[in-house]
A and B are shown apart, each in its own frame.
Chain A
Amino acid sequence: MPEKKKEEETFGLKLSPRLLELLAKLQEIELEDFEMNVGDLEIWLQPGAVAAPTMALPKIAAPAKAKPATIIETDFIPPIETYPGKVVEVKLGATKSEGGTRGKSLVIGGETTPAFYTFERPTLHPPVVTLDVFDMEVPLAKAVKMHVKEVLGDPAAWAKLAVEKFGADMVTIHLITIDPLVKDVSPKDAVKTVEAVAQAVDVPLVIGGCGDPVKDADVFAEITETFAGERFLISSLTRDMDVERCAKFVKKNGHVALSFTPMDLNLARELNRRLYDFLPKEDIVMDLTTAALGYGLDYAFTNMERARLAALMGDPELAHPMSSGTTNAWAAREAWLKMAPEWEPRELRGPLWEVTTALTLLLAGVDLFMMMHPAAVKTLKDVTKQLTNARSGNADRLVEWVSAKV
């Protein structure tokens, strides 16, 4: 089954067919309530029995130096900084008045402080989420598949589900079928797929290739031209592609390039520099590669954190909004594998793996998350909302956790 293997590689979902069979045989657990409720919870502190701690303690040996009898008041001055650099703002999607057909466009980037240092400045543009949609049946973790099984093989229906039910800000259409080693579908047919998705939903789209540098370029050429003015995010332009050709058709037809490099800031700078010859900075989002939790997330996190801090310190070649292929979290075996009973159920472990990966990178500065599991998406969006439209907690009642009966 070489075809299947290739697909698995493409998605970073190394699920063996044998395991998929096992997954299929498992009984599903109902997660719907749980997904829908996470964000709807009201603060409800259980009244605990906190006694006034006023009783005196036995006297202790006299101190050498006078001990304070009251609280010594000091000040706290928030450590605010200013930064010479700023991340460029990139607009994704175009409405009718902007030259496209989308119902809305989204702006990402524009940061002037590290991620969620909202004590310095409020977040200008909250990060957005784009959900994966595949143009053919692909191996998926059971925990994901159970939510999309009705729409597998129908990208338009899948996109609709992602937007209407799972709250996707954008949709990524992965054109797996164009891969010469899979179905080698023609650029014209790929256009038809994108057409169907663009008709089904009016959110901005990400156009995902198959990873073959030549075929991707041919397909992207056709799509960018057909959908001129839509400001689709073309995912991705890589160093092994004909960068000049790709950058030119992205520019000419009014789209945005996703500049993808493998975990190396110098390579990212180099590819961005090559793109600058043809594209304005406002047309470039960068992807520095996302490794899964437990499989190099520390590299991804630090690389992104360094890129963002460098951008704020004035490095223009890294001052682009960052995208993360957070779906890669599912490449971790711990995200989908059946493990010993103490680690089950994996239907919960898997999406938590994805959201832990996402939230870690949220704090590094990622602006655009490519994700898959609805519960992970919901949590990321809830946390983002908490961090941007911040409401205060009840400090007086927080103390009650100490004695709360949970």
Chain B
Amino acid sequence: MDEKEGKGKVGVKELSPIDVYKLLPKTNCKECGEENCMAFATKVVNREVAIEKCPPLLTKEHEKAYKQLKEMLKPAIKEIVIGVGDKAVKIGGKLVMYRHEFAYFNPTAIAIDVTDEMSDEEIMNRIKRTEQFNFEYIGQTLKLDMIAIRSTSNDPEKFKVTVKKVVENTRLPLILCSLNPNVLEAGLMAAPKARPLLYAATKENWKDMAELALMYNCSLTVFAPNNLKLLRSLAKTLLEYGAEDIVLDPGTFPSDGLADTLNNFTMIRRAACKRGDELFGFPLIGVPMTAWVDRGEAPEEIAKWREAYLAGLLITRFADVVIMHSVDGWSLLPPVVLRQNIYTDPRKPVAVEPGLKIFGTPDENSPVMFTTNFALTYYTVASDIENAKVNAYLLVVDTEGIAVDSAVAGRKLTAEKVADAIKASGVESKVKHRKLIIPGKAARLSGEIEELSGWQVLVGPRDSSDIPKFLQEKWQTQA
């Protein structure tokens, strides 16, 4: 759709390093850490480094160029910071509508709710579970990000006390939720410098909400369920009013109205990314917890299940922040893993550090295997070896994050690389044998590897799940 829809400014994909280079001071001073301005420009275009890393550009002399560059590099969706300190979250900052067009930045922030009518114990318990949620996944720790405090009492005092309790017990950024400005103000008074996201300005209360956002320097959600004309009008009004950091909520309908929800999210994102609509160039908030509201007599598991898949749909369709109620691991894990998947950079294969990995307590007779540094391959192989409880060395060869078969075909995995990796790893001083088990999918390299490394090659299984069997049948008889 790029070709058809590229009606706004120069698309991020079309931006070339030359466009950036032209506006740089061209001093080649290396103060940014790059060899020259052109190298710096390339990194800027790839969003690997911010232009602020160029000290000369920030001087008075280059002010105009700096502003031009800022404008040129501005994301279609404004980046907004919620909270303060090291736990603050960034949302938005999207450059493109489809992740394959470039990459998505700033993973969807996930907030867990508490209310001002929950018991102290329940609030503490939910904060604890939110903070302690963590899942180790291909070398990363997946976490939850925020606490949303809802006023179910509509009592400013109650809300104030609850906000106070929450900020005393967590540094996670907050979303303060009430449509009553007096309630929100009371909450803000309990956390005047916390810079929470305010939820929400509506057609009834927008002016008071805007005042609060200005007074406390907060971002403000605009809420107009299934009414994009109103949503857009409110965004315009609030911008004119002086609010700068806006988050858009077109409403999350959990069942009836779900089609409207996905359509609205999609139209907003397309209007911003493909048509340059600045009034819609803001992050989107989704509320999967609406699944709880119409639960009726159904068991909690149903609400958790529906909330989880709604979160998944919204993460796929452009939500920058979501509010959820369930704190159950089984229902949070799928959306959290999905978020990680959708927000990986499609330009860069997911890779792990190359080098020698040790499993169990290998000795001088233990098997030596190799695999590539493609993260999915590595973690699958590693977990298969772990599950088999064998003592072994695994040499991770740098294939620039490409899987075995593609790396062999694309010459990212060669006999030279394997031979060099053996030398560099020091494995030759760790084992007395010289037998290397190679992946079945790299079988065609066996002759060359033997020649270059001097090691004898054993062609291993094509799938790492067969490693235990292979070791049992082939290694133990050989060794």
- A313 → B minimal CB distance (Å): 7
Interface SS of A by simple majority: loop
- Cβ of B313 < 8 Å from any Cβ of A? yes
In the complex, what distance in Å separates the CA atom of A114 from the CA atom of B230? 26
In the complex, what distance in Å separates the CA atom of A399 from the CA atom of B261? 14
In the complex, what distance in Å separates the CA atom of A301 from the CA atom of B340? 13
Stretch at the interface among B69-77, B80-88, B147-155, B447-455: B147-155
In the complex, what distance in Å separates the CA atom of A73 from the CA atom of B203? 11
Q: Is the CB of A379 within 8 A of B309?
A: yes
Q: Is the CB of A57 within 8 A of B208?
A: yes
- Cβ of B293 < 8 Å from any Cβ of A? yes
Residues on B with beta carbons closer than 8 Å to the beta carbon of A392: 226, 256-257, 260
Stretch at the interface among B298-306, B351-359, B431-439: B298-306
- Cβ of A402 < 8 Å from any Cβ of B? yes
- A11 → B minimal CB distance (Å): 12
- Cβ of A391 < 8 Å from any Cβ of B? yes
Q: Which of A358-396 contact B (CB under 8 A)?
A: 359-360, 363, 375, 379, 383, 386-388, 390-396
Contact of A67 among B117, B208, B231, B242 (CB under 8 A): B242
- Cβ of A344 < 8 Å from any Cβ of B? yes
- Cβ of A400 < 8 Å from any Cβ of B? yes
Best-surrounded residue of B230, B233, B255 (most CB of chain A within 10 A): B255
Q: Is the CB of A343 within 8 A of B294?
A: no
In the complex, what distance in Å separates the CA atom of A293 from the CA atom of B242? 42
- Cβ of B223 < 8 Å from any Cβ of A? yes
- A143 → B minimal CB distance (Å): 11
Chain B 188-226 interface 0/1 with A at a Cβ cutoff of 8 Å (1 = within) = 000000000001101111111011101100000001011
Q: Which of B344-390 contact A (CB under 8 A)?
A: 344, 346, 376, 380, 383, 387
Residues on B with beta carbons closer than 8 Å to the beta carbon of A239: none
Determine the residue in chain A with the shortest Cβ distance to B5.
Answer: A81
Q: Is the CB of A334 within 8 A of B337?
A: yes
With contacts A68-B241, A405-B117 taken as known, whether A346 is within 8 angstroms of B330 at the C-beta atoms is yes
In the complex, what distance in Å separates the CA atom of A118 from the CA atom of B266? 10
- Cβ of A26 < 8 Å from any Cβ of B? no
Determine the residue in chain A with the shortest Cβ distance to B240.
Answer: A68
Q: Is the CB of B292 within 8 A of A306?
A: no
- Cβ of A274 < 8 Å from any Cβ of B? no
Residues on B with beta carbons closer than 8 Å to the beta carbon of A60: 211, 214-215
Q: Is the CB of A16 within 8 A of B387?
A: yes
With contacts A57-B185, A74-B236, A401-B289 taken as known, whether A356 is within 8 angstroms of B115 at the C-beta atoms is no
Determine the residue in chain B with the shortest Cβ distance to A75.
Answer: B229
Chain A 16-53 interface 0/1 with B at a Cβ cutoff of 8 Å (1 = within) = 10000000000000000110011001111110111111
- Cβ of A353 < 8 Å from any Cβ of B? yes
Stretch at the interface among A1-9, A166-174, A228-236: A1-9
- Cβ of B404 < 8 Å from any Cβ of A? no
Residues on A with beta carbons closer than 8 Å to the beta carbon of B469: 2, 5
With contacts A78-B267, A356-B335 taken as known, whether A297 is within 8 angstroms of B236 at the C-beta atoms is no
Stretch at the interface among B26-34, B35-43, B175-183: B175-183
Residues on A with beta carbons closer than 8 Å to the beta carbon of B401: none
- Cβ of A206 < 8 Å from any Cβ of B? no
Residues on B with beta carbons closer than 8 Å to the beta carbon of A9: 463, 465
In the complex, what distance in Å separates the CA atom of A43 from the CA atom of B469? 54
- A10 → B minimal CB distance (Å): 11
Contact of B177 among A45, A388, A402 (CB under 8 A): A402
Q: Is the CB of B179 within 8 A of A50?
A: yes
With contacts A50-B154, A393-B257 taken as known, whether A349 is within 8 angstroms of B177 at the C-beta atoms is no
Q: Is the CB of A116 within 8 A of B259?
A: yes
With contacts A359-B313, A406-B292 taken as known, whether A390 is within 8 angstroms of B259 at the C-beta atoms is yes
In the complex, what distance in Å separates the CA atom of A73 from the CA atom of B152? 32
How many residue pairs at the A-B interface have CB separations less than 8 Å? 289
Chain A 50-73 interface 0/1 with B at a Cβ cutoff of 8 Å (1 = within) = 111111110010010001111111
- Cβ of A296 < 8 Å from any Cβ of B? yes
Contact of B3 among A48, A63, A313, A406 (CB under 8 A): A313
Q: Is the CB of B233 within 8 A of A395?
A: no
- A276 → B minimal CB distance (Å): 25
Stretch at the interface among B49-57, B160-168, B271-279: B271-279
In the complex, what distance in Å separates the CA atom of A293 from the CA atom of B335? 9
In the complex, what distance in Å separates the CA atom of A394 from the CA atom of B4? 35
Contact of A406 among B181, B236, B289 (CB under 8 A): B289
Q: Which of B86-102 contact A (CB under 8 A)?
A: 98-100
- Cβ of A79 < 8 Å from any Cβ of B? yes
Determine the residue in chain A with the shortest Cβ distance to B98.
Answer: A305
In the complex, what distance in Å separates the CA atom of A83 from the CA atom of B4? 9
Q: Is the CB of B330 within 8 A of A343?
A: yes
Q: Which of A297-346 contact B (CB under 8 A)?
A: 297-298, 301-302, 305-306, 309, 312-313, 333-334, 339, 342-346
Q: Is the CB of B330 within 8 A of A117?
A: no
Q: Is the CB of A41 within 8 A of B1?
A: no
Determine the residue in chain A with the shortest Cβ distance to B469.
Answer: A5
Q: Is the CB of A363 within 8 A of B316?
A: yes
Q: Is the CB of B225 within 8 A of A398?
A: yes
Determine the residue in chain B with the shortest Cβ distance to A346.
Answer: B330
Q: Is the CB of B258 within 8 A of A8?
A: no
Q: Is the CB of B293 within 8 A of A404?
A: yes
Residues on B with beta carbons closer than 8 Å to the beta carbon of A333: 383
User: Can you list 12 contacts pairing A with B, beta carbon distance less than 8 Å?
Assistant: A53-B204, A76-B232, A79-B270, A296-B341, A298-B99, A312-B1, A313-B3, A352-B308, A356-B335, A391-B257, A393-B261, A398-B253
